[in-house]
Chains A and B, each alone.
Chain A
Amino acid sequence: MVGKDRRITQMAIDFTVSDAAGKPWTLSDHLDSAVVLTFQRGDF
């Protein structure tokens, strides 16, 4: 009822974005653990 709680099987393609210091951040550098990505609409 609330939102869209999907059960999916998907492999995450490696990606590179920028951290808050403008430095590159690559997913595969951080998979020594699980990675919880929380998506934000933007500043508020």
Chain B
Amino acid sequence: MANRHQELLELGGKVFAVSADTAPMNAAVMEKLALPFPILSDPERDQVITPLGFADDKDPREIARPGVAIISPDAEVVYSFVGRDYADRPLEDVLVEKLGQLGLGPTSQPAPELGPIEAGEKAMPYRGLSSYLRGAKFAGLAIRSRHRDLDEDFSADMTAYLEMIDRYLDALRGVEDRKA
């Protein structure tokens, strides 16, 4: 989403990420990825994560499920996508379409402010992300190859997963551009 942030602003949508992590942990992720928008902290998940249906009640870490919600200036939730896992997210093209339907003029968003930074214990260093994603991609390719002729639904799901991994790899290239 960071790579298409400007496009979303042009359509009248300001972008904010949300997690159940603390503000310092969110600041660490923002710095690592040079995000052009802030990550908001809802540690008890009771302000927005649960009310909008994004609480992951199966994961013992009490975190949010991935996904997107678009709220119109009239405070209506005009779009919601709750994902199953980290790679299950709506394509930015869908968000562009949904924002376009609102017929809003362009908006702007200041560079986010960072406070103290404290990465989580298990946070992956930036330099490891590319290898991690490439590993996930090649595992997915192998699994899809094995099931291609056996289960069309599964193969289609794996194709969507692999496309999302490619988008994440593209996003890393965007990080390099923003950090340059």
Which residues of chain B from 15 to 51 have a CB within 8 Å of any chain A CB? 15-21, 23-30, 38-42, 47-49, 51
Question: Count of A residues near B, CB < 8 Å?
Answer: 40
What 0/1 readout, one digit per residue, does chain A (1-14) give for beta carbons within 8 Å of chain B? 11111101111111
**Closest B residue to A34 using CB positions:** B13
**Interface SS of chain A:** loop
Which residues of chain B from 77 to 131 have a CB within 8 Å of any chain A CB? 77-78, 80-84, 86, 88-90, 95, 99, 102, 104, 107, 112-116, 119-120, 122-124
* A interface residues with partner B (beta carbon < 8 Å): 1-6, 8-23, 25, 27-28, 30-44
10 pairs of A and B residues whose beta carbons are closest in the complex: A21-B115, A33-B107, A15-B47, A40-B19, A20-B27, A43-B120, A10-B77, A18-B41, A21-B113, A34-B13
